[in-house]
Structure 1
Amino acid sequence: MKVCAGSAALALANWDRMAVAAGFEAFPAAKLTNKFGAPLKGEEIPTDEALVFFYPVAGVPCFLINLGDRPSKSNATLKNEDGDYQWQGGVGPKGQFVAFVAICTHQMSYPQPEVSYMRYAAGGSELAGGPGKIVCCAHASVFDPTDGAKVVSGPAPMPLMPVSLVYDPISDELSADGIMGMEYIKRFFKTYKADLNARFGPGGYRQEVGGKTACIPLSQYSGVVPTC
């Protein structure tokens, strides 16, 4: 099952010339793995926190979330800066697996090894106001991952950008094969170019992840995760 069909695969070298559309841009599929490099099984994905992975290039952080018993809505009509789009819901036996680019659409807060002000508040929090929300503690934005990461409250002007997932029911494995919001990601790269170059080496943040990408619990990826 695929979240949404993407366009033809596009080389990373063409990002600056890419036509922006209110839909998924397809990229070479990457198998989601555990931190040891083995294919990640759906049954292994925790429900109490997000897993961090990078796709389609080293500098784009994403959240993989297991919604558990909270079913995702399907055929939701959402809007980003490029226009209206359809979010088809999650994948997996119950549609419980969803993924979003983990860059806040307010002022581009994102998970870093030192600290992450973005997190999945599975059990709820004061800011979230209830369980199962993505929160950004930097400026108090709240997103609902069951509804395409649409904004629930706070200053964020649009949903988090979704990542297209493919689920194999036979192997219980997942892959990522597209993302939405290329124009926003290009601005993110420009805004944080110095930080990204320092972390990945000059231009390293634009390198394709290849055929697989590791998923790491946020609590293990970031040294500090505030619980707003």
Structure 2
Amino acid sequence: MQPSHDADPADDLDDPDRRALMHGAACMAGAWAATGALPAVAGTARDFAPALLVDERGDPFRAAALKPGEAWLFNYPFAASPVFLLRLDRPVKPAELQTEDKTRYTTPAGVGPQSSIVAFSAICSHQLMYPTAAISFIGLRKGVGKEPAHVIHCCGDDSRYDPAAGARVLAGPAPQPLAAVPLAWDATADTLRAQGVVGGDRFDAFFEKYAFRLEMERGGQARSRAAATTVVRPASRYSRQWQNCPA
């Protein structure tokens, strides 16, 4: 009986198809290394439990209530972390963006009948300004010049984000886009569910910066995870005053 021999991987290099495949992979890796780019990470959400959006009576919130140019807010994935809920005037496609540390990711597409409903963290990625019960310096405003119809604008540092393109930074010192909150839309019931966070969130810095204020407002519950339902409110009822700032 002839002795058995393990296959030598080098023998496969004689296969023209395998050589071509390996050459292509090497070229792609070299291109990434030369440009400093990395393949985009699919828009996989951070592991936060989903939450059904409900109105102030506790009934399921209907997507039909959203109008283009009107901002609504809810808290997610923590009890004190606000999120903008927006319906834009056109369908929203996924966008490839990157965080401050150059991690690339893909934002979720819009949902709803026209694929135009999106949600983003309402915590500015620069100075961490956010809507409070008393006042908000960050909000949805009309775009100017060549900007889209509406932008998310933080008056505190003049950072401007494009909600139609994953909340990418249009102008100002913001170091990264606003984190996106993927939504699931039930077409039959017309309901919405928040299900995770995609992109560079600033939750740790937010809770550290505002620890005393949040403790006074929520008695130690600020960093509790959002419940199975979360209340959606129009911007006018989420904050008593929305600061007007120059375009």
Q: Scaled by the length of structure 1, what TM-score is found?
A: 0.83
Greater CA radius of gyration, 1 or 2? 2
Equivalent position of 2:51 in the other structure: 30
Q: Which moved more, 1:41-50 or 1:166-175?
A: 41-50
Shift of 1:183: 6.1
Tell me the equivalent position of 1:14. none
Displacement, 1:23?
4.6
Shift of 1:187: 1.4
Query: Which of 194, 215, 237 pairs up with 1:176?
Result: 194
Q: Which residue does 2:81 correspond to in 1?
A: 60
* Structure 1 residue runs of 4 or more that deviate by more than 6 Å after TM superposition: none
Instruction: Give the unaligned 5+ runs of structure 2.
Output: 1-41
Task: Between the two structures, name the one with larger relative contact order (CA 8 Å, sep ≥ 6).
Answer: 1
* Code of the aligned partner of 1:106: H
Unaligned runs of 5+ in 1: 1-20
Count of residues in Structure 1 that have an aligned counterpart in Structure 2: 203
What are the Cα deviations for residues 75-134 of structure 1, in whole angstroms up to 9, with x where unaligned?
A: x1100135000113211121111001100001100000111011111xx15699552111
Structure richer in strand, relative to its length: 1
Cα distance, 1:139 vs structure 2: 1.0
Does the Cα contact within 8 Å between 1:128 and 1:135 map onto a contact in 2? no
Where does residue 39 of structure 1 map in the other structure? 60
SS of 2:48's equivalent in the other structure is strand
**Counterpart position of 1:209:** 226
What is the CA RMSD across the aligned residues, in angstroms? 2.1
CA contact (8 A) 2:143 2:150 kept: no
What pairs up with 1:49-198 in 2 under 5 angstroms? 49-67=70-88, 69-74=89-94, 76-82=95-101, 83-121=103-141, 124=142, 131-180=149-198, 184-198=202-216
Q: 1:182 to 1:198 in 2, by over 3 A?
A: farther
Structure with bigger helix share is 2
- State the match for 2:240 in structure 1: 223
**How far does residue 165 in structure 1 lie from its aligned partner after superposition?**
0.8
Aligned mates of 1:136, 1:55 — CA distance in 2: 20
Aligned mates of 2:76, 2:158 — CA distance in 1: 25
